[in-house]
Amino acid sequence: MEPSFSAKNPQTSKFLEPGYSEASMAEIDAALKAAEESFDILRGLQREERARLLDSMADEVMGLGDGLLERAHLETGLPMGRLTMERGRAVNQCRMFADILRDGSWVDARIDQAQPQREPVPKPDIRKMLRPIGPVVVFGASNFPLAISVFGSDTVSAMGAGCPVVVKAHPAHPGTCELLGEAIRRALEKLGLPGGCFSLIHGTGNTVGKALVEHPATQAVAFTGSLKGGRALMDVASKRQNPIPVYAEMGSSNPVFILPGALKDRYEQIAEGFVQSLTLGVGQFCTNPGLVAGLDNSEFGDFREKVASLAREWSPASMLHSGISQNYSSGLSKIAAVSGVEVLGKSEQAPDPSKTEAICQVFSTTIETFLNEAALSEENFGPSSVLLTGKDAESLEKFAESLEGQLTATIHATDDDLTAHRRLIQILERKVGRLIINGYPTGLEVCSAMHHGGPYPAASHSFFTSVGTDSILRFVRPVSYQGFPQSLLPDELKDENPLSIWRTVDNQLTRDPI
């Protein structure tokens, strides 16, 4: 088949070799049938074997060396230093999942022993644990070509759970995807596992993605991207004869609240940290702080002027690809067109369109204007933010109440501020997946306590996270075993606890055998 598309270097606007072909319906069908045929083998692996697979995948990715980083740099424009750090994050999270597989307690084993003498009805022996669901389709993100893509948290957590994976490569960095896909395939080959455990599919339009979601073998979908894209996949999945879950992380505006005491103590430091967070990675993070709210007083005025000054000093930089750049520019125009909004500050240096560059731009308006203009609540993916002023604490609370679901919210405050604005915290707890005090939303820690999700439209399921160890829970379901003989039970549920995992036995957490 002749190549139908190529990656483009965003810093030069030149196409990169080689070309890639759209997957045919036959190729999509073959990949998912192979995944289905491999499912019993992958889920049947002992925990150490599956952990070895993840470790081998990490080793193979590191074995790609600088060639991986150089290709990712050419396709995304991201600096080599940033890509080196991102590769470290991707490899470390893969090894983190290998560690939790070795521990084994993540399966949440529960045992309620039989009580044959119980009156009026005997109690049966019932045991429960989490089991893998089957083939998973993963849509990688454009802004994390290494850590939330082919080798990202979706793929490694799904395969760690025992689910074969079919990844739709992101068309903006197909060469990077191919390198990572080959690393995963080599890891499977070294362990003698079937190739159907992992497949990589290319496609630029909606047809390939729709076919992947509609295929009867697909049991779940993981997606990171825009609200429009995530919602489209959710709609396709819901119309199937057997609907399946789409775990979509779709971004948010990540509001920042700056309370009076904090402004009085350190407005300059807060302004500097905010602009650094706003412009990090050219603002191309789902946790980018796109809204800032404070009370209309002299300290917030000083903060606004400092932010404006820093925005003017920021030099334009290349975005990931022309589509993101065009959407960002359109978003700036849309915000500027709202009556009552003024441009507070923007990069003084003009951007170079041939390098897909973006400027930093901050706007200013009132909370009252925000509440009456729906356009201001929409995420503008890039280094822009809207600063909002309110008259009193009640106006901050009204702003918080008006928010749709968000990935994060941040509060800069003193202890006295937090006491005086406790109601604000209570409101935000209902709105977000992660609430931050005196920090910034960018710089996502990959750990067991992280929740990267939130109420719709930040994510499709507010209970689930796409980052951290709990992300594996998206690809399993609970199964109860009633009245099973010991010989047929999974090792995790046998009386002797041969794996020595933590289990809940008759409502008591223990590692002891029964």
List active site positions: 249, 286
Measured CA to CA, the distance from residue 205 to residue 298 in angstroms comes to: 50
Euclidean distance between CA atoms 157 and 179, whole angstroms: 20
Going across the sheet that includes 246-249, the strands are 198-201, 165-168, 136-139, 220-224, 246-249
User: Encoding tokens for residue 399?
Assistant: 């702003």
Beta carbons within 10 angstroms of residue 299's beta carbon: 17
Rounded to whole angstroms, the Cα distance separating 482 from 473 reads 23
For residue 342, the tally of other CB atoms under 10 A from its CB is 9
- Amino acid at residue number 57: M
**Alpha-carbon dihedral 71, 73, 77, 82, rounded to 10 degrees:** 150
**Joined tokens for residue 56:** 């081998």
d(CA 441, CA 274): 9
Distance between CA 187 and CA 404 in Å, rounded?
42
**Residue 389 tokens, joined:** 């002023």
> How far does the chain reach from its first CA to its final CA, in angstroms?
60
Q: Calculate the CA dihedral of residues 202, 246, 50, 505 and round it to 10 degrees.
A: 180
* Backbone Cα Rg of the chain: 25
Residues 6+ apart with CB under 8 A from 482: 124, 125, 126, 127
Give the integer Cα–Cα distance in Å for 96 and 508.
27
Q: At what angle do helices 227-238 and 206-214 cross, to 10 degrees?
A: 40
**What phi, psi does 188 have (nearest 5°)?**
-65, -45
Nearest partner of 346 among 370, 379, 382, judged by Cα: 382
What are the structure tokens assigned to 108, written together?
């949440």
In DSSP notation, 394-452 reads HHHHHHHHH---EEEEEEE--HHHHHHTHHHHHHHHTTEEEEEESS-S-S---STT---
